[in-house]
Amino acid sequence: MSKTFVISDTHFNHGNILEFKNYLGEATRTFESIDQMNEAMMDNWVSVVGPNDTVIHCGDVLFGHHKSEWMEHNFAKLPGKKRLVLGNHDNVKHIGQFFKDVQLWIDIPGFIFTHTPLHPSTLAEKHRFKEDKINVHGHIHRNPSPDGPYFCACVEQINYTPLNIEEITIHQ
């Protein structure tokens, strides 16, 4: 039986991400190099995702030069049917072809996937006549999600490994 996974803000090849700090001044990522970071995230992906599984990537896939070549030689080989929620650093021209589809958000039963957390009033409006949903998002890295039905899928918060959506819970 196929599974659905989520991941966000991989920032493959983004050299400066190793210098980022959270709101408390702590390092966002503790890898020694970009190559070590890329390899760890790809190894983790392969360890949990099968070829018939779906992976929803909530944006900010990669940075750097030669994006299409890197995607073809590395990302395209990762298992699973990949869907992209467009992040603020994503360029569809370079990466869109490596995804089954590219959306601004993905809405499935129980979840709405976005890059940035939805404003609480937007989340309430979108689901006034539907079942309650968890807003699975990225963008904030190690910073906390807003209070309410939110779950951050940034790699820093999910051990750099795609997370089965059946494991998603709201932390309040």
What pLDDT is recorded for position 125? 66
Domain boundaries along the sequence of the chain: 4-167
For 118-140, how does the pLDDT look when each residue is reduced to its tens digit (9 = 90+)? 987 776 666 554 567 899 999 99
| Residue carrying the six token digits 């904030």 | 140
What pLDDT is recorded for position 87? 95
Q: How confident is the model at residue 90 (pLDDT cuts 50, 70, 90)?
A: very high
Lowest mean pLDDT among 37-51, 60-74, 91-105, 146-160: 60-74
Is residue 45 classed as helix, strand or coil in its secondary structure?
A: helix
Please give the DSSP secondary-structure letter assigned to residue 27: B
Is residue 64 classed as helix, strand or coil in its secondary structure?
A: coil
Asked if 111 contacts 165 with a C-beta cutoff of 8 angstroms, the reply is: yes
In this model, does residue 159 exceed pLDDT 70? yes
- pTM of the shown model: 0.93
What pLDDT is recorded for position 129? 45
Cα dist from 137 to 35, 39, 48, 73, 162, whole Å:
25, 23, 20, 27, 13
Q: Which of the listed CATH numbers 3.60.21.10, 3.90.470.10, 3.20.20.150, 3.30.160.70 matches domain 4-167?
A: 3.60.21.10
